Amino acid sequence: MPEYLGKVYFVQGVVAYFLILSVLGAPNYGIKELSKAKGIGDWLEFKKIFTELFIMTILSSIGSLILLLVTVQLYGKFYQEKLIFYIFAIQVLFECFHINHFFIVMENHKRRLIRSFTIRILSLGFLFYFIKTPNDYYLYALLLVVPEVLARVIDVISVRKYFYFKDLNFKRHTNSMFIIFLYIFTIGIYGSIDTTMLGIMINDIEVGLYTAAVKMYKMVLPVILTLGTVLSPRIIGAIKRKEKENIYKNMDIFIDYCFIVGVPATLLMMLLAREFTLLFSGPDFKGAIETMIIMSPCLGFLALGTFIGGQVMLPNDLEKDILIISIFGVFLNIGLNYFLIPAYLRNGAALATLITEVIVALIKIGKMKKLYVDYKILTKDRVLTVFVGVIISYGIYLKIGYIREFGNLITLLIIPVLYGIIYFLILILLKNKRILSWLVFIKKRLHI
């Protein structure tokens, strides 16, 4: 039910700030520094950096946990949900075991895939087995935390040979990590401030409906962002070696992918907001349909902005610029939420998030253009991708009523397949270079 889901996600939104404090920006900073050490083949330096960052995050996780527990005791609204806070406090303590940056730099994506898939399957199985009534929301919170914690403990045990405890130098990381931490923290604020402000200004029901809409686009977002993560070590290496051709080549791969996949994903989520909401959340969440439609365009802008910030600006040592942009985004988002939530409730929060993501992404694009003046973002193929996506969406929108008669599940199965076939056929006919290169790659792999 919206109220109980709202309770859990309100707490999760608040705890998100403490999770960021737990790792002090180590995952983002770690990718940059570990990639440098790996790039020059200095494995002793690699081990030292990895160990230093791990020890620093252990201390910060303990400090963050203490601060969370004190905050819960002092603030009345938090104290009312203290049991849920205590459950999420487990995640805060073990956030220091978040070592995804190690696997990203080592390009061990297979392990990350297996780990993530296993957690999701286990969580889903436990969800159906243990959650029977709305009052089981405490168990639901526990299921969000425990599988993640267990997986992270296993991760750390599996890389124990990379720990090196001699001649460590923690001080060399503090300045850069602090700037990156502030950047990540500000991103975290406008990533969670909507649910926090909705919970404080309105009620848990609005948070529940809002979260039902948000989780749909956040479910699709990693599909786009993952490629940027995969390309990250290559782009960082190319930037450090000043290999402009390789920088542009890898940037093109992600941004082409962002347009080709992001455009239909966004439009399909808007077209199928009703089906997604009713099938995955239930009829009590009908109020989330309009909110999901408003939120969907965030997908492409957030993906592009995240990529430029993390994979282009950060390796170019523009931590301060990223921080300033993020602080601006926070104040913009808080201001918009303050005025829009009382008038439009959850839809106001969704609109505030959309406006913020669009403006922040455009500013980051402007910064990227200053770095690489001759790099072109809006190529002919990318513009045509948007045009084709919109035209197909409009055509399906006019006829979707006939398919909806077969039910939500059938609609969710038929529309994306139909959309995908038409979309890719048109792009092939238009000779989209990226699509044609994918076809060549597939033919080689299949020996056609």
Query: Could you give the percent of the chain with pLDDT greater than 70?
Result: 96
Question: How far apart are alpha carbons 286 and 164 in whole angstroms?
Answer: 54
Question: How far apart are alpha carbons 361 and 208 in whole angstroms?
Answer: 27
Specify the pLDDT at position 448: 61
Predicted confidence (pLDDT) at residue 423 exceeds the cutoff of 70: yes
pLDDT band at 174; cut points 50, 70, 90: confident
Residue 144: closest CA among 136, 155, 135: 136
Question: How far apart are alpha carbons 430 and 436 in whole angstroms?
Answer: 10
Listed range (166-180, 380-394, 415-429) with the worst mean pLDDT? 166-180
Predicted confidence (pLDDT) at residue 234 exceeds the cutoff of 80: no
Specify the pLDDT at position 229: 67
Predicted confidence (pLDDT) at residue 126 exceeds the cutoff of 70: yes
Specify the pLDDT at position 190: 65
Specify the pLDDT at position 413: 87
Write the CB contacts of 320 (distance below 8 Å, at least 6 apart in sequence).
179
Per residue in 322-352, pLDDT (tens digit) is 878 888 888 888 899 889 888 888 888 889 8
Q: Are 334 and 352 in contact (CB under 8 A)?
A: no
For the ranges 135-149, 277-291, 312-326, 343-357, the one whose mean pLDDT is highest: 343-357
pLDDT band at 83; cut points 50, 70, 90: confident
